[in-house]
Amino acid sequence: MSIVCLGLNHRTASVDIREQFALAESELPALLGKLCEATGASEAVILSTCNRVEIYAVTEDKPVDLISGLRNFMLNGREVPDEVFYEKTGAESVEHLFKVASGLDSMVIGETEILGQLKAAYQVSLGHKRTRGQLNKAFQKAFNVAKQIRTETNIQRGSVSVSSVAVELAGKIFDTLGERSVMVIGAGDTSEKTARALLSRGAENVLVSNRSFDRAETLARDLGGRAVPFDKWESEFADIDIIISSTSASHYVIDRRKLEPLQKLRQHRPLLIVDIAVPRDIEPEVNFLDDVYLYNIDDLQAIAEDYLLLRQEEVAKCEEIIRKKMLELLESLNTRSAPSRPEDSGDSASDVSAAVTPS
Amino acid sequence: MYGVGMLYSFFLWRKGFWRDDWVVYSLLGCGLIFHTIAMAQRGFSLQQCPITNLYEATAFIMWTIVAGFLVVGLWPRLRFLGAFASPMLFVLGVFALIPDMDPPVVEGAHNFSGALGSLHKALLLLSFGAFGLSAVAAAMFLTQEHDLKLHKFRAILSMLPPLQRLESTMSRLLLVGFGLLTLGIGVSGAYHFQPGKTASLGDPMVVWILAVWIFYLVLLLMNWRHAQGGKRFAWGALGSFLFMMLTFWGAMLSHLQRF
Q: What is the pLDDT of residues B35-66, one digit of tens each?
A: 888 888 887 777 777 777 778 888 888 888 88
Q: Is the pLDDT of residue A345 over 50?
A: no
Percent over 70 (pLDDT), chain A: 92
Q: pLDDT by residue (tens digit) across A322-335?
A: 999 888 776 765 55
- Secondary structure element (H or E) that encloses residue A54, with its range: strand A52-59
Sign, CA dihedral A86-A92-A94-A98, equals negative
Residues in chain B, how many?
259
CA distance B67 to B29: 8
Lowest mean pLDDT among A75-84, A123-132, A214-223, B89-98: B89-98
Q: Is the pLDDT of residue A351 over 60?
A: no
Nearest to B151 among A173, A268, A299 (CB): A299
With beta carbons less than 8 A apart as the criterion, state whether A155 and A109 touch: yes
Lowest mean pLDDT among A244-253, A273-282, B60-69, B71-80: B71-80
Distance from CA of A155 to the nearest CA of B (A): 14
Cβ <8 Å between A270 and B163: yes
The pLDDT score that the predictor gives to residue A128 is 93
Cβ <8 Å between B230 and A303: no
- Calculate mean pLDDT across residues A155-162: 77
Query: Comparing C-alpha atoms, which of A61, A135, A44, A150 is closest to residue A102?
Result: A150
Nearest to A174 among B160, B164, B228 (CB): B164
* Residues of chain A neighbouring B160 (CB-CB closer than 8 A): 172
Distance from CA of A146 to the nearest CA of B (A): 22
The pLDDT score that the predictor gives to residue A359 is 35
Based on the residue annotation, tell me whether A318 is a catalytic residue of this protein. no
3-class DSSP state of A7: strand
Q: How many residue contacts between A and B have a Cβ separation below 8 Å?
A: 53
The pLDDT score that the predictor gives to residue A346 is 39
Which residues face A228 on adjacent strands?
A209
Nearest to B226 among A268, A303, A306 (CB): A268
Task: Quote ipTM for the complex.
Answer: 0.79
Give the max Cα distance, chain B.
Answer: 63
- Secondary structure element (H or E) that encloses residue A43, with its range: strand A43-48
CA distance B208 to B211: 5
Q: Is the pLDDT of residue A165 over 90?
A: no
- Secondary structure element (H or E) that encloses residue A6, with its range: strand A2-9
- Calculate mean pLDDT across residues A51-67: 92
Model pTM?
A: 0.73
